Amino acid sequence: MTSQIPSTPTADQIRRAPKVLLHDHLDGGLRPGTIIELARAQGYDRLPETEPDKLGIWFREAADSGSLERYLETFAHTCAVMQTREALVRVAAECAVDLAEDGVVYAEVRYAPEQHLEAGLTLEEVVEAVNEGFREGERQARASGHRIRVGALLTAMRHAARALEIAELANAYRDSGVVGFDIAGAEAGFPPTRHLDAFEYLKRENNHFTIHAGEAFGLPSIWQALQWCGADRLGHGVRIIDDIEVAEDGSVSLGRLAAYVRDKRIPLEMCPTSNLQTGAAASYKEHPIGLLRKLHFRTTVNTDNRLMSGTSMSKEFEFLVEAFDYTLDDMQWFTVNAMKSAFIPFDERLAMINEVIKPGYAELKSEWLFQQTATTSDSSRRTG
Ligand SMILES: O=c1[nH]cnc2c1ncn2[C@@H]1O[C@H](CO)[C@@H](O)[C@H]1O
Ligand SMILES: [Zn+2]
């Protein structure tokens, strides 16, 4: 009897596989029940629903608008209830716990400190509260048998004018929980070069940053992010596909920018479901990640906003497995790519890859061997 190596991972294997998340917004990942409790405690009465399931659906549907600007409007409700120290600690702790339970072993979670000052917290107090929450969540996860490490990325809003200040904040906390910087918000009309001073400052400090680019706006945004601002990674970057031509005979040619991105191994933080909601891609099957993975771009898989997209790392992988027949080897490839692209020190990334990620996948990939043995001995008992 010949045995068949299973090629498609099951949903359970996808969940148990070690995963690495580089692009996840803290204010886009709250539990609906937590939003309701925090709103009640703080007297925020503008929530569109007051029952957790309904509120979760409301966020997904409201974010399903086909426009980044409308998608971003939903964050008014999450930011509204994230204005106190206690709320920030709780939301960050729950974030770490939820990711850990989903099999994420390393995550960089971002948020914009400037959006959490309405009740009088200082920027420093916001960062310290979120850090405390992440540490608390890591402890809780460990107590229930999961290991996760979470680093914070500080985001500046591209329509605002506080990027340098937030970059300085990221630099001040670089040895205590903050691993880098980002800019986010509406892309069209707000080019990253508006914040050149922040990026130049971080370069001088040998610090790291990623830039949301090539999501709602195309190649010029990616080009600016890389060649003017010097981004280490691209948030989304899906529109790099506009610089790639696939001929009818299947041959592929890269424009100068796409070639640069691939040659320099620029990490692409792809967020498939989020892209379907904002109109950056039409379907999972048509999502550029399929081609980019084939062409060996440094592609990674991410959630963006778990609440607004009703998603998780496992779900994103499930959709991709379904669309592209990915195997555990493909999942491992995306995961190692992400770990290589993280902003923590090289030796720690390497240890994560060699001591956590590769052994985790090796274990999953060998499961079929043992299942096979059980079936064989069962049937031999029956026939013997
Ligand atoms: O996909 C996205 N593109 C651009 N901006 C985003 C995206 N998701 C969230 N934010 C913005 O980032 C802020 C800080 O976390 C959020 O409040 C939201 O306005
Ligand atoms: Zn994002």
Could you give the CA distance from residue 273 to residue 281 in angstroms, rounded to a whole number? 9
The alpha carbon of 23 and the centre of ligand 2 are apart by a number of angstroms equal to 6
The alpha carbon of 209 and the centre of ligand 2 are apart by a number of angstroms equal to 13
- The DSSP secondary-structure symbol of 173 reads T
Asked whether residue 373 carries a pLDDT value surpassing 60, the answer given is: no
Q: Which positions are catalytic?
A: 215
Q: What is the pLDDT of residue 361?
A: 98
> Are 287 and 318 contacting, i.e. CB atoms less than 8 angstroms apart?
no
Could you give the CA distance from residue 139 to residue 20 in angstroms, rounded to a whole number? 18
Residues 196-210 have pLDDT tens digits of 999 999 999 999 999
Could you give the CA distance from residue 180 to residue 170 in angstroms, rounded to a whole number? 6
The alpha carbon of 27 and the centre of ligand 1 are apart by a number of angstroms equal to 8
Say which range, 18-32, 55-69, 131-145, 316-330, has the weakest mean pLDDT: 55-69
> Are 188 and 160 contacting, i.e. CB atoms less than 8 angstroms apart?
no
- The confidence band for 14, taking pLDDT boundaries of 50, 70 and 90, is very high
Q: Is 304 annotated as ligand-binding?
A: yes
The residue behind tokens 């891609």 is 281
- The confidence band for 280, taking pLDDT boundaries of 50, 70 and 90, is confident
Q: Which of 70, 72, 83 for a ligand 1 pocket mutation test, highest count of atoms within 8 Å of Cβ? A: 72
> Are 232 and 250 contacting, i.e. CB atoms less than 8 angstroms apart?
no
The model's pTM = 0.95
Say which range, 63-77, 150-164, 353-367, has the weakest mean pLDDT: 63-77
